[in-house]
Structure 1
């Protein structure tokens, strides 16, 4: 009788575990749990065809530590994450090393700091429209967001 009681108790525990696992939401493609991107904007260059800049506010409160290492911008031939570095007598843009993201990280991608350069922008990137931006993260994850496209003279 004790063996039957232990078997029933074990089955109930396994059943409860299965219910808990089933209750977890399935991963959403293009969304990293704990990551939020706001205020996304693509600012076009004054000269048509020159690279555009992508700015946004990123916050991460996920459980896993990640690294942001690359980006794609729909309507651009290529994109890369840049960082402005201050050197004696000058500021210059360099391609960014992977950016570590841990719980509580907030980063403002803004002029004079981190930003995404959208190279070879096509006519699909037009002021007043939107563009899909994809952030690429370690482990193969991606996080997609929509950014407003602004003209060169508009607020950055």
Structure 2
């Protein structure tokens, strides 16, 4: 009987201790700071030739007070995506994958034809002109920012 009482008392004390811990756990955690990017004019332009990659163009502005380094881009409905830019190589302008890109607050980077852009490879047949897809930018450290992009046919005004 004494042993049963001791076990019951131990359980009651443990429950009281856990409920006290529960009060602290009930406090709302600090909100994670959302990435302060805004996007305008986002569009994915389908390739003129099936099987070729699509291009994604947009204007990306960083607000807030913190610098971020863009590490990669992903496009929903594409097997893979790469941030590309033009640079000079051996006296010629060539397109290739971009190095990570630092942005400072207040800066706007234009992803546009003939300059920096996102290439989307091996597209799903579900990506059709007139629809939308989601583009995700990943910054150094792994935080992500996603936004919708209108899907345009190859011949539409960019």
TM-score range, shorter chain: 0.7 to 0.9
Residue number in structure 1 paired with 2:14: none
Conservation of the 8 A alpha-carbon contact between 1:49 and 1:122? no
Matched, 1:107 2:109: yes
CA distance in 1, matches of 2:32, 2:99: 27
Deviation at 1:147, TM superposition (A): 0.1
Structure 1: gaps of 5 or more residues? 1-21
Residue number in structure 1 paired with 2:143: 141
| 4+ residue segments displaced more than 4 Å | none
- TM-score normalised by L of structure 2: 0.76
Residue number in structure 1 paired with 2:124: 122
Residue number in structure 2 paired with 1:64: 66
Matching of residues 1-156 of structure 1 within 5 Å: 26-27=31-32, 32=35, 34-87=36-89, 90-156=92-158
Structure 2: gaps of 5 or more residues? 1-27
Deviation at 1:72, TM superposition (A): 0.5
CA distance in 1, matches of 2:85, 2:102: 14
Aligned-residue CA RMSD (Å): 1.8
Deviation at 1:88, TM superposition (A): 6.4
CA distance in 2, matches of 1:106, 1:66: 12
SS in 2 for 1:139: coil
Conservation of the 8 A alpha-carbon contact between 1:43 and 1:149? yes
SS in 2 for 1:140: coil
CA displacement, residues 89-113 of structure 1 (integer Å, 9 cap, x when unaligned): 6321110001101112110100111
